[in-house]
Structure 1
């Protein structure tokens, strides 16, 4: 078959008819990497999470501290993941690291919770936020209908899945374009609130105004602050997503840490400034009653141009959905390559070189999660499982330092960093589990359901011939419909790639 898009072939890749291996290509540059991190982090969180953080603390001062520490905490995690990503350079992120450190069962459990909870929930949250803001200009004086939000969120997921299936290049172009849009939206918030930010700092220092009097007065405890961190850290979610696509990153030993060092300080500073602007303009009562704080801010600051705020936020979250979809497809592809998911998920399109089956599957799972429109409930529900998974990766880093001291480590962080980060992760898991035991039990139960699934569908190899024939027929049918092929099968039939 001929090549339709010459730009889709890098690193000497060609189509299968040329006798070379169909595989993912190294198309992601340093700039693309920064765009993936910034674009994935700045999604729905900064426009929704301020209400969630403040609701748990009822304190302006404590909320700002939570936001600042969330950025510092995410930076520590990103540095630890830079070591993991440069010593284990394959795609898959957390899944690949747990596999290397603790073996297939624990890696499968991590993949399982990503499959049924973490990735679909994250994508659903960001897509719902996109839909809420996109529809809001048409419902300025009344609540947005839930069904309209769900329908538009579903359209967003399906459209971006189609783009990611069609071309890596176009997916990266969308990521860059909408990352610029979301930075512009936040810049407008910061500039519009700059005068109020100055007043805010002055008032906090002098205590001369009733509006910002007693900034640390509120209703909070150790447990509620820990839960508040869930909303704050959700807004920083995505700092480790570039680790999921290291096989497609050009010169990962240099560009992975560089992308982290460039992206994380940018996001932290913008987030802190944006929250200062929110608190300087929006009252406490308005903040608690607003599920979309950026819209409230825009209505008070921009007057007739307030409609532009939900538009820019919608553009921002649209890019966030794109980044999450892009990395989720690669995670499930790696899981299939390890034999932990049906082999069909490892298949790649013969011309586009994109993991079409994995992308379609993650879209379908996200559509299921759209049954709920309560964004804050979804955040609290999946955060405990997420941070337990991250803690397992950091524990794996420490274990590999001991068990494989000679493993090449282009980046080696000081031992105090992963230890401190692990302690913080355990705090984020244990304290909210006491505050919200139902969520903890549900999350643990979902994780443990992966154990029988692993032994029945992965470990048990001697299944009946009838089962194998049926599975092969379904695989062949889907393979024909989607024009995808297994890289391993292609190499076996045509021989290894010539260099």
Structure 2
């Protein structure tokens, strides 16, 4: 392996860029979140407004980051932005959080969820949950290793495939649904079940469903025309996701009374599909959910390894020359894939051996609290870059400046505050996990 800085070829066009955004955002939330958002919103009108507002905040964030990304066009995404704007220390902590804490946790969550879905669909023993989930993970990992072309092809196919059952529910729900979409109020039902009506929490639930929009930026260095295609892909991808989320909720409310949408909980989409398509309806939703999770998992495997790859290029990891290794035969960042795979296996093993103590789902949820600090820093970074590069021509400028960046910052601050209030212990654990990156940074600096 050479110690020279290695590069990845620019192979990603606009279509693949859009499918990476859509594929990494749309996971299980599109099928299971409608009920939980309604449970906080209280009325169908406010639930739909929550989904729309979540989409607007996400779009504001995406376009704000797109201007930053159009100026810092190298691989690494959020890590690269924070490092270039604030320096190596903060960049390292960003990359460490994404690579060591959040990335492996979300990948393990997807592996386990996928295993559960498939074993339930085929009614086989729960013993196979881990082997099936891990087997699909290894298959997708192999695709990513043997070439970005195959991983991108899988992403394109799975994204289109996951939209088919969603499109079917939307169309048939709008055409054949008999219920009223607007004006339904389940506030009293929620209160009777000891629930709490809180529009802010409803918006927060949608924002978690929109999470993943930034992952395309990790591959800026592999885009054929990042200055043009990154902003355009952000715009198209987030608009598609927002439209999908809003319209499937409209279709569900038109198919089922709001009271049943609330009571059915996570199975609400399956129940709506049974009404629309008969007994096969639940299977359609389950197949759609399985395909959706496969696409999301593949998207994570494409994007997350680019972060340690970029860190290694900056010599900010132990054994950086190995981590940044790019296969001459396949053109893929094999070293970074190995790093992410080893960390994923460690988290998976801990989840299996200590399930009551080590919950990958919970780790991924509380880590988002920290990631939003870095999001906020990148939003502020836009103002820093504008002042630093004043008078220079920009490839892309965020529309309605400074309104959209301020809106993006408001959404990020909203998530941070709400998460801290609702789960102070988890927030503290996340901060503790972040602080563990400080000695690792100092160790790495001493080695270089």
Report the TM range for the smaller structure's normalisation: 0.7 to 0.9
1:101 aligns with 2:101: no
Query: Quick one: structure 1 residues 270 and 286, their matched pair in 2 at CA, closer, same or farther if it must change by over 3 Å?
Result: closer
8 Å contact kept, 1:50–1:293: yes
Match of 2:324 among 340, 346, 364: 346
Question: What 5-or-longer segments of structure 2 have no aligned partner?
Answer: none
CA distance in 2 between counterparts of 1:33 and 1:213 reads 40
The correspondence of residues 264-413 of structure 1 with structure 2, limited to 5 A, is 264-282=238-256, 284=259, 287-288=262-263, 290-306=265-281, 307-342=283-318, 343=320, 344-370=322-348, 371=351, 377=362, 380-406=365-391, 409-413=394-398
Match of 1:420 among 387, 397, 407: 407
SS of 1:348 mapped into structure 2: coil
CA distance in 2 between counterparts of 1:279 and 1:132 reads 27
Residue by residue, what CA displacement relative to the aligned partner does 1:446-499 show, whole Å, maximum 9, x if unpaired?
1111112211x222137xxxxxxxxxxxxxxxxxxxxxxxxxxxxxxxxxxxxx
Query: Quick one: structure 1 residues 332 and 261, their matched pair in 2 at CA, closer, same or farther if it must change by over 3 Å?
Result: same
Query: Quick one: structure 1 residues 29 and 432, their matched pair in 2 at CA, closer, same or farther if it must change by over 3 Å?
Result: same
The number of aligned residues is 431
SS of 1:240 mapped into structure 2: helix
1:67 aligns with 2:46: no
8 Å contact kept, 2:179–2:253: no
1:29 aligns with 2:7: no
1:177 aligns with 2:154: no
- Aligned partner of 2:120 in structure 1 is 136
Of the structure 1 ranges 414-423 and 365-374, higher mean CA displacement relative to structure 2 is found in 365-374
SS of 1:340 mapped into structure 2: coil
- Aligned partner of 2:422 in structure 1 is 435
8 Å contact kept, 1:43–1:126: no
Residue by residue, what CA displacement relative to the aligned partner does 1:254-286 show, whole Å, maximum 9, x if unpaired?
111222222222211111011122333355456
| Shift in Å, 1:33 | 1.0
1:460 aligns with 2:431: no
8 Å contact kept, 1:32–1:172: yes
CA distance in 2 between counterparts of 1:162 and 1:100 reads 32
CA distance in 1 between counterparts of 2:25 and 2:326 reads 27
Of the structure 1 ranges 435-444 and 375-384, higher mean CA displacement relative to structure 2 is found in 375-384
Of the structure 1 ranges 265-274 and 129-138, higher mean CA displacement relative to structure 2 is found in 129-138
- Aligned partner of 2:132 in structure 1 is 152
CA distance in 1 between counterparts of 2:295 and 2:138 reads 14
Query: Quick one: structure 1 residues 369 and 190, their matched pair in 2 at CA, closer, same or farther if it must change by over 3 Å?
Result: farther
CA distance in 1 between counterparts of 2:241 and 2:147 reads 27
Task: Tell me the TM-score normalized by structure 2.
Answer: 0.87
| Higher alpha-carbon Rg | 1
Query: Quick one: structure 1 residues 22 and 440, their matched pair in 2 at CA, closer, same or farther if it must change by over 3 Å?
Result: closer
Residue by residue, what CA displacement relative to the aligned partner does 1:317-358 show, whole Å, maximum 9, x if unpaired?
211111111011111100111122231211111210101121
1:90 aligns with 2:88: no
8 Å contact kept, 1:85–1:246: yes
1:240 aligns with 2:214: yes
CA distance in 2 between counterparts of 1:378 and 1:64 reads 29
SS of 1:412 mapped into structure 2: coil
| Shift in Å, 1:168 | 1.1
CA distance in 2 between counterparts of 1:453 and 1:21 reads 22
SS of 2:74 mapped into structure 1: coil
CA distance in 2 between counterparts of 1:216 and 1:402 reads 52
Residue by residue, what CA displacement relative to the aligned partner does 1:89-137 show, whole Å, maximum 9, x if unpaired?
1111110110111101111111111122221222233333433333332
8 Å contact kept, 1:60–1:216: no
CA distance in 2 between counterparts of 1:332 and 1:408 reads 31
SS of 1:460 mapped into structure 2: helix
SS of 1:301 mapped into structure 2: helix
CA distance in 1 between counterparts of 2:78 and 2:127 reads 35
Residue by residue, what CA displacement relative to the aligned partner does 1:145-201 show, whole Å, maximum 9, x if unpaired?
655333322222211111100111111111111111011121012123114667423
